[in-house]
Amino acid sequence: MSDSQEERVSREVEKMTVKEFLQNYGGNECVSIEGYCEEKHYDYFREADEWELSADNPNHYRPTCIVEEPWWNEVKDREIKEWNIIGGGMYKVELWIDLEEE
């Protein structure tokens, strides 16, 4: 197999949808998705009916969940073109995602 064929195969294996990627990445992140959100903090990535709050929640805090965004159904099954982790040190860490064209 030539180098270009090996490169093409590895790229195909690495492709993920936004939903698959965020499920693997986990929750509690600052996310930017080109064209949809910029530096938005989400406490959880879960389907909305998968989490419940304790009755002891003193501040009646409701976590921000990306799947509750009005644009979620539009992006969840789109493949990621590229992504990067931006920031660190004295800057907040941000997960930046650019989507493949539809």
100 to each of 27, 44, 82, 95, how far by Cα in Å? 23, 24, 8, 16
Residues 21-80 pLDDT 10s: 888 776 567 889 999 999 888 876 665 455 555 556 566 666 678 888 899 999 999 999
Residue scoring higher pLDDT (89 or 51)? 89
Which residues, 6 or more positions from 22, have their beta carbon under 8 angstroms from its beta carbon?
A: 31, 45, 66
| pLDDT reported for residue 59 | 65
Confidence at residue 43, expressed as pLDDT on a 0 to 100 scale: 72
Residue 11 phi, psi (nearest 5): -65, -40
Domain coordinates in residue numbering, the chain: 3-99
**The pLDDT of residue 76:** 93
Helix (H) or strand (E) holding 98: strand 91-99
Instruction: Give the per-residue pLDDT at 11.
Output: 44
The predicted model scores a pTM of 0.68
